[in-house]
Structure 1
């Protein structure tokens, strides 16, 4: 069957970019259709732009930030049509795309993320993803700019500045990341001025027994600690230097047992003190003044988790910063502002962005597992470029002729 090549801007062929077939491998159409049915937004009849294609389209937006809406859809439509051996649909107008995006909303994409974005590493092939038998994950937040529209300003708000407010409103997000693979396991988006903890609370549902969660100083209050521990996960969180932590017992490795109690506003008459272990250490800095760290952990046994190992492990938390760099710099190609002009579509674009990132990391994990490499040996940027050059099961070659993608080593 003859195919006409879709394009993404002048001089860019479909064969230079990712078709929907890879996304469909990570997120099968059957899974997406079931979620669309569950949320009551699936297509009720055969359309040139079915709702399932709209879901893939929302993911592809972040892969092609330089392309027009219609051109991104053309790639998604051609990839899906080829995979299903069906005719390529006609070009769809920007208004039709906007209409379908409005019908989809963000809820099905968030549900897909929570259902499909699972931990990637296993202890046999990637032992670096674990510590003392616990999967190492980290939680953190960041901000990003959204279009300067009235509704976005009302929902998300401006950051303050010396001249009144910044040029664009900003949304705040939080992510839960598997540190070794950079896979985003859960994410949430909220208003700029919402407290960081409030943005992180929805992620606690994804914490599970068998995980060790790392976090920075913003999350060491009694209420936060108790909520996170209720998930069954263990914790290793940095706390402020001025926090009052009584020494209950000094341990052989230099750490000590302490306890945290609810503050007056957290006290409900039933809360009890929680025993924690405290690890304190200092690292040299460029200005000569050492940086002091104070960690609290639920791992109370120094034989199971020596203080020196925990001090080294805590700095794995910075892998979250690398994930934000991958999202903002390498997927969005330094595009400062999301495209969507309404709060609902901003949320939809955000979850599509997270799903696209996970798809890249999923591909990298397949490469790492097949070639017995650590994820740190692979280049995220290189794999994004590889996705844009590769189009499995697309019109560039017959459906049965497949090419194996080679690892991109940094």
Structure 2
């Protein structure tokens, strides 16, 4: 085991360190049916080196050879990573996430565990296998762009821990992986999401599993809080004419807070099978509420939520608005992973390697979150105020330095807003608009003409 990994394990909580111990790694291999022989780069050594590589902001494989402190080549290390099944990495993600979640089980909202789902994307090398599987953004000629994967990630709101991450081709809807990403949720959980996840099929699917939803209303759904709408006692045209809400009003909690019945759409979404869609109920009850955003700097001035938490006394509209505000924390989590931890551009050149690399980022991120949670507990502050980059540096510092996790606490800046602009100018190079071989041909012709 590299000395750097010994230092990292020694700084983690005992239960979190056990989730990534040598015994756990070997148990995960046996659980998925993977057999191996004793060698310099077995499953334990390979996982540890891969983890240190990611924690050091995805350093090169040649650097890993120096970190390992043993005689092997970067090619041998890459082959060792490819030998390990992806299922081993996913099992370790689950174990580490469970250990980190257990470090702060008191972070519940009205007795519910709260999760937030969101999508993002990552770039990767321009390899034929990756191009064929993930694709690249439109408007780019072949040979001028890089493959991009669409990610779907599930975070725990209280701890910031990452439970699951999936990667799909660029031209796929976020909902295509919603079923798999929510597989780790349990009855009684609450799921937050933006308008891309707000649909009848998704909410009905969650209701069938006993999971509550709090989503921002989709922009194509018409919402009407007018008192004259049809109610359960006075039946009206249902569904109503085009341009008006198709839902049926059941109960009014306030001027902009009501419970309505959503009818089952005739069209089946592409991410569900015929059997799954046929099993959904003909209508579901949804609570619609609207509130104003008065914080300066926010582009959105009015937010309409759709939730399956129907009881206004148990879940007041003000508290639901505050809960949805916490959804924005996922943007900070994604920024920390993609920018601070350098996940924005992956390094592997195969689909299997990319998925393993994402799993290792999930493990590394959760280990850093574990250090942040412990530091927040010692300093009695919100975990999201702890500096992630300071936690990353503390976790990877040489042994014997800064053993106590007293990390930097960022100022509380609720409502702070900054323009999304860059001050540092990029180099004045032209953009690549045709394959590199054509540029080489043009340069050769210029030399011949000269």
Normalising TM by the smaller chain, what interval? 0.7 to 0.9
Does the CA-based 8 Å contact 1:258-1:277 persist in structure 2? yes
Q: Which has the higher contact order (CA 8 A, sep 6+)?
A: 1
Distance 1:324 1:18, change over 3 A: farther
2:96: which partner in 1? 116
**Is residue 371 of structure 2 the alignment partner of residue 363 of structure 1?**
yes
**Contact 1:213–1:235 (Cα < 8 Å) also in 2:** yes
1:37 aligns with 2:30: yes
* 1:178 is the counterpart of 2:156: yes
Separation of aligned partners in 1, 2:93 and 2:319:
33
Aligned to 1:65: 57
Within 1, Cα distance between the matches of 2:347 and 2:396?
20
CA 1:18–1:291 in structure 2 vs 1: closer, same or farther (change >3 Å)? farther
User: Secondary structure, in 3 states, of the residue corresponding to 1:218?
Assistant: helix
Residues 1:406 and 2:406 are matched in the alignment:
yes
Counterparts of 1:268 and 1:107 in 2: how far apart (Å)? 32
TM-score, structure 2 normalization: 0.75
Counterpart residue number, 1:93: 73
Instruction: Count matched residues.
Output: 374
Over residues 105-130 of structure 1, what are the superposed CA-to-partner deviations in whole Å (9 max), with x where a residue is unaligned?
3221112212331274679x785x32
Q: Is the 8 A contact 1:175 1:203 kept in 2?
A: yes
Worse-matched range after superposition: 277-286 or 376-385:
277-286
Deviation at 1:297, TM superposition (A): 1.0
DSSP 3-state at the match of 2:310: coil
Aligned partner of residue 396 in structure 2, secondary structure: helix
Shift of 1:29: 1.6
Q: Which residue of 2 aligns with 1:277?
A: 287
Q: Give 1:68-217 correspondences, 5 Å limit.
A: 68-75=60-67, 77=68, 90-118=70-98, 120=100, 129-161=107-139, 167-217=145-195
RMSD: 3.0
Which of 375, 378, 383 pairs up with 1:375? 383
Contact kept, 8 Å, 1:105 with 1:345, in 2: the verdict is no
| 2:118/2:153 contact within 8 Å kept | yes
> What is the deviation of 1:205?
1.2
Equivalence for 1:347: 355
| Mapped pair 1:52 → 2:32 | no
Cross-structure match for 1:251: 253
Shift, 1:48, TM fit: 1.2
TM-superposition CA deviations, 1:33-53 (whole Å, max 9, x none): 111122333432x21111111
Unaligned runs of at least 5 residues, structure 2: 222-244, 269-276, 411-450
5+ unaligned residues in a row in structure 1: which ranges?
A: 7-13, 79-89
* Normalised TM-score (structure 1): 0.82
**Residues in 1 aligned to 2:120 and 2:145: alpha-carbon distance in whole angstroms:** 18
